[in-house]
Structure 1
Amino acid sequence: MNILFVASESDPFVKSGGLGEVIGSLPKQIKKKGADIRVILPKYGDIADEYKNQMTTKAVFNIQLDWRNQYCGVQELQVNGIHYYFIDNEFYFKRPGLYGYGDDGERFVYFNKAVLEAIPHLDFEPDIIHCHDWQSGLIPVCLKAQYSDKPVYRNIKTIFTIHNLKYQGIFSKPLLKSLTDLDDKYFTQDSLEFYDQGNCMKGALQYADVITTVSHTYAEEIQTPEYGEQLEGVITSRNKDLHGILNGIDIKSYNPVTDPNVRVKYQNSLFNKRLNKERFQKQIGLPVNKDIPMIGMVSRLVEQKGYDLVAHVLDEILEMDVQFVILGTGERKYELFFEDAAKRNPTKLSTIIKFDDALARKIYSSSDLFLMPSLYEPCGIGQLLSYQYRAVPIVRETGGLKDTVKPYNKYTGEGTGFTFINYNAHDMLYAIQKAVECYHNKDIWNSIINQIKKVNVSWEKPAREYINLYKQLVFVLN
């Protein structure tokens, strides 16, 4: 099978979050299972020169975008055994950062068109185009509307994966209509129309052959008004084609035995893990004490990640005999609040406002507990990483957090973490208190760590599920 991944970011080239992690690691596992998988991305200005200098030009052509005739270059490169293509247009992509520009609608319509126009030039005929999030959401629409009568495209199937339903690519109907050159019938309620605007993700949900999302619970949640972001009706109408497949992580990269950011290497040794904690405490200016439980939190500082809950009971958290380390950037109100709190509690709280992968890995390898009190979480990677580094997760039971963290049960001794159900600050506080109490009981703590050791967070099982889905789509539906 030939699979073409289309995405707006991928490690090791450019990454703003979980999507880049997934696209950077999943293809390697799918390739191991026998598929010819390739990835196509925008050629951003932020891609390091070490990669740009190795790219070779595969094709050059022009794309009609409204009244403009735009240049498109297709460049290619192989990294870690995976074949990558890059859509080259400096006007759209040679800028700092990935998203957040006023012309994002035009940039990604161009990218979708460029991917489809590039296919005859690739020496690679995909059986399936696997699209990820709204930035590639128009590909299933345009493929069926404008390309299905052409021999090269006739048998191509599409899969669309929702990584985060909140971000949908909503733009004015006149803009999308002029850029895509789609007929008026594609801007009705049954297609792209969304409250008198055009919605790229809705288009993908309507026209993709199969829809996936990144956990079983999230697949159920997004069919409800609470989590459906006003698309629950569309998703429910396609629920027979909807599959929840959990994400994994690259366990070779995230490995405390080989990770260069881990000062004292370990796998299951809590003694060595606590030596890392002592060195990290010294590095960030917290009192050095291997026995005090350290709570880590690594994420964007936004409401979705539960920072309003943390802010609401922060004083109560810091009244406990704990240390708390927060790493990330996000909404200014949260950055200022937690920076100020750290100044007031210098022996208890360290707030680091930046995105730093090396520092994140030090937090995972030093923390005893890892907090993820998310309002919603399609899958979550933090709790999977915490398992790898033997930090016990404290999570709210939503999306992939519910699917991956088994709550500790004091009666049976079973569990891989601590959970709470309601989005409530004091429910979260109680879960933290319970976790800290268990930390000080050596037998309970060792039991939890021993159960975490058995959790498989690799891409092995998810990749197998994707392969089965691809086979069904190519061999059964054809």
Structure 2
Amino acid sequence: MKVLFAASEAVPFVKTGGLADVIGSLPKQLAGQGLDVRVILPKYEDIPDQYAQAMETVSTFTLQMGWRQLYCGILKLEHEGIVFYFVDNEYYFRRRGCYGYEDDAERFAFFCRAVMDSLQHIDFIPDVIHCHDWQAGMIPVLYRAHFSYQPKYAHIKTMMTVHNLKYQGVFAKELFKDFFALGDEHFTGYALEQYGGASFMKGGLLYSDLITTVSPTYAAEIQTPFYGEYLDGLLRSQSHRLYGIVNGIDYAEFDPMTDPNLEVHYRDSLEKKQQNKLKLQERLGLTVRKDVPLIALVTRLVEQKGLALIDRVMAELMALDAQWVILGTGEHRFEQLFRWAQESYPGKVSANITFSEGLARQIYAASDLFLMPSQFEPCGIGQLIAMRYRSVPIVRETGGLKDTVQSYNEATGEGTGFSFAHYNAHDMLYTIERAVRLYREEEAWARIMDNIKQKDFSWTQSAQEYAALYEQMLR
């Protein structure tokens, strides 16, 4: 079976969020199950030189987009056994970062068209085109409108995966008509129309053969008004072809036994994990103490991540006998909140308002508890990495956090972390207080560690579920 992943980012080439981790690791797992999986991405300026220089040109051709005749190059690179194609057009993609430009509609319209037009140039006709998030959302629309009736392509099926429904790629209808050569029938409420404009994401949801999202709970949540971002009605109507498959992590990539960023390697030895903690405390100016629980936040500092809850009970959190380490960048008010906390509570709080993959790994390895009080979280991989590094998650029960973290039950000894249901600062505070108390109860802590050890959050199971859905579509 041949599968082409179309996405806007992938590790190790370019990353802004969890999407890149999925595109970097899921294809490898599928390939291990015997599928021929390839990936197509834009060729951004930020791709490191070592990869850009190793690419070879497969084809160059002129792409027709509305009245424009545009250069399109397709380059190719094999990485860890997977073939990656890169869509080259310097006008659209030779810029810093991936998104946030005024002409993003035109840039990703070009990308969607290039994916479809490249099929006749890359010597690879997929059985399934697997599209990820809004940037690839118009591919199923283009396939239906311009390719599905051509014998060479008639067998192709399309899948749309929603990594975060909040981002929908909504732009003016006139732009869509211009870029995609689509008639008025595509712009009614039952098609691309959204908020008076038109939406890449909605196109992907309506025109694809199957829809998936990144956890079973998120699949249910997005069919409700609170989480549905005004698409809940559409998603309820499509629930018969909507599936939730939880993300995994690459166990070879995230491995405390081999991670080059760690000073002391370990698997289940809490003694060795503690050594990483003492070294990090010393480096970040925290009081060096073995007995104090170190609570970590490695996150984007934005509203979605539940940071308003922390703000609300900051004084109570600081009164706990615990230390805090924060890593991330985002909204100014949250950056300032943690800078203030570090100044006000020296030796107790380390605020690192930056992003560093190396430091993130050291924090996973050093921390005892990992906090994710998200407002919503389609899947989240922070809690999965935390458990891999034997840091116990404290989460709000939403999306993938609910699916992957089971709250510890003192009566039965079951559970892999701590959780609270309502988006409420005092519920969070109570849960953190409970976690800090149980950290000091050796028997309970050992039991939680044992429970975490039994879990497998690698891609194996999820990849099997994707492969089964591909087969279902093709049948």
* TM bin (shorter chain): over 0.9
Structure 1 position 64, deviation (Å):
1.7
Structure 1 position 126, deviation (Å):
0.2
Residue equivalent to 1:88:
88
Structure 1: distance between partners of 2:149 and 2:408: 56
In the alignment, structure 1 residue 243 sits paired with structure 2 residue 243: yes
Residue equivalent to 1:179:
179
Instruction: Show structure 2 runs of 5+ residues with no match.
Output: none
RMSD between aligned residues: 0.7
Structure 2: distance between partners of 1:251 and 1:26: 11
Residue equivalent to 2:470:
470
Query: Do 1:3 and 1:36's aligned partners in 2 also have CA atoms closer than 8 Å?
Result: yes
SS in 1 for 2:120: helix
Structure 1 position 65, deviation (Å):
2.0
Query: Do 1:383 and 1:393's aligned partners in 2 also have CA atoms closer than 8 Å?
Result: yes
Residue equivalent to 2:439:
439
In the alignment, structure 1 residue 27 sits paired with structure 2 residue 27: yes
- Counterpart amino acid of residue 360 in structure 1: A
- Counterpart amino acid of residue 115 in structure 2: V
Structure 2: distance between partners of 1:123 and 1:70: 21
Residue equivalent to 2:221:
221
Aligned length in residues: 475
SS in 2 for 1:264: coil
SS in 2 for 1:120: coil
Show the 5 A alignment for 1:66-215.
Answer: 66-215=66-215
Structure 1 position 258, deviation (Å):
0.4
Structure 2: distance between partners of 1:311 and 1:179: 45
Structure 1: distance between partners of 2:264 and 2:44: 36
Query: Do 1:439 and 1:445's aligned partners in 2 also have CA atoms closer than 8 Å?
Result: yes
Structure 2: distance between partners of 1:4 and 1:433: 47
Structure 1: distance between partners of 2:423 and 2:43: 40
Residue equivalent to 2:268:
268
Structure 1 position 330, deviation (Å):
0.7
Query: Do 1:418 and 1:431's aligned partners in 2 also have CA atoms closer than 8 Å?
Result: yes
Residue equivalent to 2:231:
231
Structure 2: distance between partners of 1:208 and 1:331: 35
Residue equivalent to 1:318:
318
Structure 1: distance between partners of 2:411 and 2:159: 44
SS in 2 for 1:178: helix
CA deviations 1:159-208 (Å, max 9, x no partner) are 00000000000001111111111111001111000121101101111110
Structure 1 position 6, deviation (Å):
0.2
Query: Do 1:131 and 1:158's aligned partners in 2 also have CA atoms closer than 8 Å?
Result: yes
Residue equivalent to 2:349:
349
Structure 1 position 3, deviation (Å):
0.1
Structure 1 position 152, deviation (Å):
2.5
Structure 1: distance between partners of 2:161 and 2:201: 10
Residue equivalent to 1:43:
43
CA deviations 1:391-438 (Å, max 9, x no partner) are 000000000000010001111111100000000000000000000000
Instruction: Show structure 1 runs of 5+ residues with no match.
Output: none
Residue equivalent to 2:358:
358
SS in 2 for 1:288: coil
Structure 2: distance between partners of 1:36 and 1:393: 36
Structure 1 position 380, deviation (Å):
0.6
Runs of 4+, deviation exceeding 2 Å = none
Residues 337-346 or 155-164, more deviating: 337-346
Query: Do 1:369 and 1:391's aligned partners in 2 also have CA atoms closer than 8 Å?
Result: yes
In the superposition, the TM-score normalised over structure 1's length comes to 0.99
Structure 1 position 67, deviation (Å):
2.4
- Counterpart amino acid of residue 250 in structure 1: D
Structure 1: distance between partners of 2:452 and 2:398: 19
Structure 1 position 66, deviation (Å):
2.6
Structure 1 position 340, deviation (Å):
1.6
CA deviations 1:42-97 (Å, max 9, x no partner) are 00000011111111111111112232211000000101000010000000000000
- Counterpart amino acid of residue 353 in structure 1: I
In the alignment, structure 1 residue 410 sits paired with structure 2 residue 438: no
Structure 1 position 154, deviation (Å):
1.2
Residue equivalent to 2:384:
384
Structure 2: distance between partners of 1:67 and 1:230: 33
Query: Do 1:120 and 1:152's aligned partners in 2 also have CA atoms closer than 8 Å?
Result: no
Residue equivalent to 2:306:
306
Structure 1 position 332, deviation (Å):
1.1
Structure 1 position 336, deviation (Å):
1.3
SS in 2 for 1:204: helix
Structure 1 position 261, deviation (Å):
1.0
Structure 1: distance between partners of 2:278 and 2:137: 47
Structure 2: distance between partners of 1:296 and 1:146: 50
- Counterpart amino acid of residue 149 in structure 2: D
Residue equivalent to 2:399:
399
Structure 2: distance between partners of 1:51 and 1:234: 40
Structure 2: distance between partners of 1:186 and 1:444: 58
- Counterpart amino acid of residue 126 in structure 1: P
- Counterpart amino acid of residue 232 in structure 2: E
Residue equivalent to 1:17:
17
Structure 1 position 290, deviation (Å):
1.3
Structure 1: distance between partners of 2:416 and 2:308: 25
Structure 1: distance between partners of 2:263 and 2:151: 56
Structure 1: distance between partners of 2:133 and 2:330: 21
SS in 2 for 1:341: helix
Query: Do 1:5 and 1:130's aligned partners in 2 also have CA atoms closer than 8 Å?
Result: yes
SS in 2 for 1:95: coil
Structure 2: distance between partners of 1:284 and 1:173: 51
SS in 1 for 2:118: helix
SS in 2 for 1:70: strand
